[in-house]
Amino acid sequence: MGAELLKFARQELLRPWTAPRKSDCPVGQSFEASFDQINLTVIVSGRVRGSKSGRGPTLTRAIEQAARKMLLDLRFGPPITCAEMRDARIELWIQTEQARVFDLAEIDLGRDGVLLRLGSAEAYYKPSVALTSAITEAQHLLEMLALKAGLEPDDWQDGDAEIFRTRWEHCTESSTDSEGILILHRMRPVGDLKPVTREIITNALLASANRLVAVQQKEGFYLYECHAFNGRSKSGPGNLVRQAGCAYAIANASGAFGDFNLVDRFRKSAISAISFLLNAIELRWNDHAAVSHETDSNWLGLISLTLAAVQHRNIQQDFLEIRNRLRSDVLFSQRADGSLRCTATGNSLTDDGIKQDFYPGEALLALALELNDGIENLDTPLEKAFEWYRKYFQMAPKSALVAWHCAAWRLVCDYRRTINGAREYADFVFEMVDWILEFQLTPATNADSEYWGSFSPLGGKPSFSTAGYIEAIVHGYDLAVRDQLRERASRYRDAAIRGFAFLLKLQICAGMKPILVSPSVSLGGTTKSLSDGTIRCDFDQHAITAYISALQSPTFLGP
């Protein structure tokens, strides 16, 4: 059906330059009562050149109308030419549903289109507009839509204004000959859901790691942010702690594959990233006047994740002295009560602020890695930190604590060799995992099926943060298996499998290449959510470490 309709649409769009013929398309009759309108969009070199709607008793008649109107669409430049049509990609949208909404929360951007009507003024947006325009708030979209309708931006709030949520079927040519097609939902291939197997997770890990390496800049840092659907990107390293997290993730990826070329590729990338980070760290060590406020205010996270990266067996020989200095600085950040100071210059918990929920977990992970690598005299600092942070979590559980602390205390359990030798550490991991599982969206929570497996602890749209929670659950699963807690292990595994199924939806897959503006920087990336095509380096980092946790588990994915 989609291929025939797109072929017919291309014929109609080329009609002004071809010999007269009888219009004929053997489809569309069965859809007479199931669509309201269609939209044809022509894209050339990643840029929209025309977009027009059409109506009629059948899909073919609606396509004919839209094609005729397309020739007069001057909003995107001069009339489209025959030469452009040869290189164009055609998208077909079929509106199948329209429902008035009275609460903007009923609109799921990226899935739903929006129609605004006030008096005789009317305008609509397809679901793709929010995604390609990087709009994540319905209010912002409606302001734009009001302007499109010839109204003032705030007129959508007029008491007589009507707002409708629309649903669409979406297909596009995957090449310029209309033979190959993609059926899309949220700008992602329909039917592309994958089972959670070792092969699938390995491929997802490889795609994520390859993307980070592909966008690594000559200075050593990774492209901080880009957008999958409009190609825009942010220059500069952005947050250095997130860059350090990426170095840690890529260092780990170097140990996840048996292929020498991959090991070498990821190892060299991690070393380059670490060298970039050390330039900023050494400025602080040398009390250089050029040290930045960003380095000082994020000091603990920066040195901790850099230590975690240089500690990896494929990396550590290149940074032996640096490793000792980094470890000393992490230990120096510990206060007498066991808590860790997060900034280079602050001393109090007030100075730490929200960083206390993130950076100490990263520091404890780095120290736990060192402990397992045979570094001595770390038991006491870790024990003091354990007591403080267990109480800190129990007083006010926070989702930001879960991923890093579960990874750290699971490693301490590994060091203790047997679960009985680390009972309290394992119990704390179980406590955190059980708490975060309360926020997983499942059929039992009456959540939309598109979000099953994801987490929403703060009440917002489920996002990439699901990756961190999955990793924590896998660590809990491994401890439960080791302690022969079968029910707990089974429950954790089921939850993590559901989580991975959602996380895989966020990855920009190879099948999306025809619709991407800049596939070289997007393919393999993990987007912020299903409604937001932003790709940030730490989204990939969290996905990578989650995938690795599953692959390194002795039993999670089977043999």
As a whole number of angstroms, the distance between CA 335 and CA 164 comes to 56
Burial (0-12, 13-18, 19+ Cβ within 10 Å), 417: exposed
Element (H, E) at 51: strand 47-54
Check whether 422 has a pLDDT greater than 90. no
Q: Encode pLDDT of 159-170 as tens digits.
A: 999 999 999 999
Q: 267 near 315, Cβ under 8 Å?
A: yes
Average of per-residue pLDDT values in the chain: 92
Average pLDDT, integer, range 436-446: 94
Domain locations along the chain:
2-189, 198-552
Residue 56 dihedral angles phi and psi, to the nearest 5°: 170, 175
In angstroms, the first-to-last Cα distance of the chain is 42
Check whether 19 has a pLDDT greater than 70. no
Contacts of 430 (CB under 8 A, 6+ apart): 476, 479, 480, 488
Smallest CA-to-CA distance from 342 within 327, 328, 354, 325 is with: 354
Fill in the DSSP letter of residue 454.
-
Q: Encode pLDDT of 449-472 as tens digits.
A: 999 999 998 888 899 999 999 999
- Please, where are the H alpha helices in 215-259? 240-253
The pLDDT, as a whole number, for residue 504 is 97
DSSP string, 107-146: --BTTBEEEEEETTEEEEE-HHHHHHTT---HHHHHHHHH
The pLDDT, as a whole number, for residue 295 is 79
DSSP string, 281-307: HHHHHTT-TT--HHHHHTHHHHHHHHH
Q: Does CATH number 3.30.1490.150 belong to domain 2-189?
A: yes
How sure is the predictor about 213, in pLDDT bands with cuts at 50, 70 and 90?
very high
Show the tokens assigned to 330.
Answer: 């992490």
CA 91 to chain centre: 25
Q: 327 near 368, Cβ under 8 Å?
A: no
Phi-psi region of 20 (alpha: psi -120 to 50; beta: other; left: phi over 0): beta
Q: Percent of the chain having pLDDT more than 70?
A: 95
Q: Which CATH architecture has domain 198-552?
A: Alpha/alpha barrel (1.50)
The pLDDT, as a whole number, for residue 43 is 93
Q: 439 near 455, Cβ under 8 Å?
A: yes
Check whether 64 has a pLDDT greater than 60. yes
Contacts of 484 (CB under 8 A, 6+ apart): none
Burial (0-12, 13-18, 19+ Cβ within 10 Å), 397: middle
Distances in whole angstroms, Cα of residue 385 to Cα of each of 109, 333, 405, 431: 42, 11, 11, 17
The pLDDT, as a whole number, for residue 18 is 83
Q: Percent of the chain having pLDDT more than 90?
A: 80
As a whole number of angstroms, the distance between CA 521 and CA 211 comes to 7
As a whole number of angstroms, the distance between CA 545 and CA 248 comes to 9
